[in-house]
Chains A and B, each alone.
Chain A
């Protein structure tokens, strides 16, 4: 098997992270020559979300055609980690059933986030049940919370220098900084302010973790000012403004030498058709 890669999709709330993550997962499946007609075949791609309530199930069902779908909550990842470490089920039950430890785990900063990263890096670290996917795509938290998650291994490693968890956190930290294994995809909108914020996040990730994120301008409108000449005044005004914003956003990235890919706005209500169109685009233009 080709070496595993993991992909975190992040960006500000409301930019279309979940949509992009699903399109990316489907695009990677197509690139891996996976065809959904071979139903018996093991799917090479996993799409995981970190939400408590599943966002995807409503749109994709339990068993989408191109990838496996999973919901990774901090609590569940933490239990898996504890069980792996404690070995004895009775001990683990005692621990998790105790109301005090439950309350404690709930409020411990970064513990849930760390457990999720622990599971995401479990294959190369040979720690925990193996997740033998070629690509794992994560519909990750939005900007601030994402940074909190990525900082959690180093942060906790500072508090816990010794003991098994200290060792684990250091190894997780090393793997998320490995550019061959770990990829960050920043989804943004083609507007001035979201682009400015994305550029900031890009630099934070690059400086702190040594990773070069891929940047996408989602809901990009492929249109020229000349196309608007016969349109009603209100339409012309609206789209001229939109095109100006797109240009401002592009200039921000160009000026800072950040590569970006526009992802077209696809006016399609049907989820299956939408993902088909978007993943075809990604295969052609990006992957």
Chain B
């Protein structure tokens, strides 16, 4: 069992792909839902897990059982929610439609690396601030590096930055007085270079995009800031999920030290999918070699345990076999997590 502080309202599960992060997030949610109302936000869950939870990938919240709720994020919808939320008080229906039709917006909301990270963070913030749940658990996107996820607000903030927007709203600088135009020569030269590099059509699309979002600048910036606040709040706890694999362990070591340096609240590390049978006596040749390998890995891990921060709790969780994944078993996974 893994201990979570009584003040914790948000849990963010991080780690590289293929370590079973999504199932672990769902297991934590299931275990914690015994005493608290919990929502788990998953990203691209495996079909098996989605079936176990009884959820569809449509961005809606489903009740799994008493006190346990689950939702699969729909990025395009979430990004649209983000823009619409900022726009709704000031923009007309036509203005909003114009933006949603913009080619650049379309690419941005679906293809920008980082927009997935950001839209999941935006939904997390919305759910946390709604105060509808005692704990919201986020399974982070399969980013190669958690940095992309943590820096998503900055990246999006850059886009909605006043300077950038102002510049594009009026690329010809027709509305600007003579002096300002002179001051901006550097910028217009930069714009020319951009045109040379990309072509005038691209610049035109950009300018249309920024014109469209012009009035929503302030609410958009506030939303980005709210997301950042959730990431750094004391009531937000990070859990790093890793696996018994040489490259994953050193990645976990590096990630945990970097993440702590940046001041995020990392509390625990879970070594996931540790085979339960690895201390059994085996005789078949390939199995003997495999068990030796697993033991060597475990020894290496125990040897490097002290390299993880002293206040960090390191846990292990046993590997499940493939046909064991049912919603009732999720709580068992949680209860079987052992401190090492």
Contact = CB atoms under 8 A, between A and B. Distances in A.
Interface of A: 12-15, 18-19, 51-53, 55, 58-59, 82, 85-86, 91-92, 94-95, 98-101, 103-104, 106-107, 109-110, 112-113, 141-142, 145, 148, 151-152, 155, 158-166, 191-193, 196, 221-223, 227-228, 230-232, 234-235, 237-239, 241, 244-245, 265, 267-269, 271
B100 interface: no
A100 B159 CA distance: 9
A9 B103 CA distance: 30
Contacts of B300: 269
Contact of A232 (B19, B113, B201, B281): B281
B277 A232 contact: yes
B94 interface: no
A158 B201 CA distance: 10
B161 to A, nearest CB: 6
A161 B201 contact: yes
B317 to A, nearest CB: 16
Given A109-B104, A268-B293, A269-B300, A53 B145 contact: yes
Contacts of B18: 12-15
Interface string B256-285: 000000000000000000011100111110
A271 B155 CA distance: 36
B64 to A, nearest CB: 20
Tell me the dominant secondary structure on chain B's binding face: helix
Contacts of B189: 94
A193 B47 contact: yes
A59 B284 contact: no
Given A14-B17, A235-B277, A238-B277, A82 B282 contact: no
Interface string B287-301: 101101110110010
Contact of A223 (B159, B246, B286, B292): B286
A286 B298 CA distance: 33
B16 interface: yes
Interface stretch (B65-73, B121-129, B192-200): B192-200
Nearest to A82: B197
A189 to B, nearest CB: 8
B108 interface: yes
Interface of B: 16-19, 46-48, 103-104, 107-108, 111-114, 142, 144-145, 147, 155-156, 158-159, 161, 163-164, 167, 186-187, 189-190, 193-202, 205-206, 246-247, 250, 275-277, 280-284, 286-287, 289-290, 292-294, 296-297, 300, 319, 321-323
Interface of A is mostly: helix
A13 B322 contact: no
A234 B199 contact: no
Contacts of A142: 17, 142, 144
A227 B284 contact: yes
Contact of B283 (A12, A230, A237): A230
20 contacts: A14-B16, A19-B247, A82-B197, A94-B186, A98-B186, A100-B167, A101-B193, A103-B158, A113-B113, A160-B199, A161-B199, A163-B196, A163-B198, A164-B199, A165-B197, A191-B322, A192-B322, A231-B280, A231-B282, A234-B277
